[in-house]
Amino acid sequence: MSYSITRICTSCGVGNRVPAEHLPDKGRCGSCKAVLLPLEEPIDVDAAAFDGITRDSRVPVFVDFWASWCAPCRMAAPEVEALARDMAGRAVVLKVDTEQHPDLAARFRIQGIPNFTILRNGRVVLQRVGFAPRSEIRRWIEQVRP
């Protein structure tokens, strides 16, 4: 069964259930028929959302493992938000708060943050620790795209 998230239509405010495999696609609101653009913001996820999205996504999934007390993570946050806008339709961007979800951090052996991980077909294809500018992160994603 496909995992889905609810996206709010900017025209009418109605929630629309969007399967993970369609997050990078344009769609239409089920109520007002306005265009729903590809996902262009990072999604804060828990383990269930993480697993569903990384399993079902047709595009690379970029994950920012972070914590609120981490100064480099706070510096990276605007870069990650801009990256989500830049890569809309070509990648999905997730954020995992390692303090709230230590199980996910442990699963990916996160020992330093920020930790940037890219998954393709549910598997890690790249993992880097430490701040990186958006241009470099974009290059990493482009390298793993088919």
2 vs 143: which has the higher pLDDT? 143
Domain ranges of the chain: 4-36, 43-144
List, for residues 53-73, the tens digit of each pLDDT value.
999 999 999 999 999 999 999
Distances (CA, A) of 116 to 1, 8, 65, 85, 87: 28, 27, 6, 17, 15
Instruction: Tell me how many degrees the CA angle 140-23-73 measures, rounded to the nearest 5.
Output: 45
CATH class of segment(s) 43-144: alpha beta
List, for residues 98-142, the tens digit of each pLDDT value.
999 999 999 999 999 999 999 999 999 999 999 999 999 999 999
Residues catalogued as catalytic: 70, 73
Q: What pLDDT is attached to residue 146?
A: 66
DSSP-derived 3-state class of residue 5: strand
Mean pLDDT, the chain, integer: 95
Q: Residue 1's pLDDT band (boundaries 50, 70, 90)? A: low
List, for residues 7-50, the tens digit of each pLDDT value.
999 999 999 999 999 999 999 999 999 999 999 999 999 999 99
Reading the block at residue 40, the tokens are 């262009």
Distances (CA, A) of 41 to 8, 113, 134: 13, 20, 14
Please provide the distance, in angstroms rounded to a whole number, between the alpha carbons at the two ends of the chain.
25
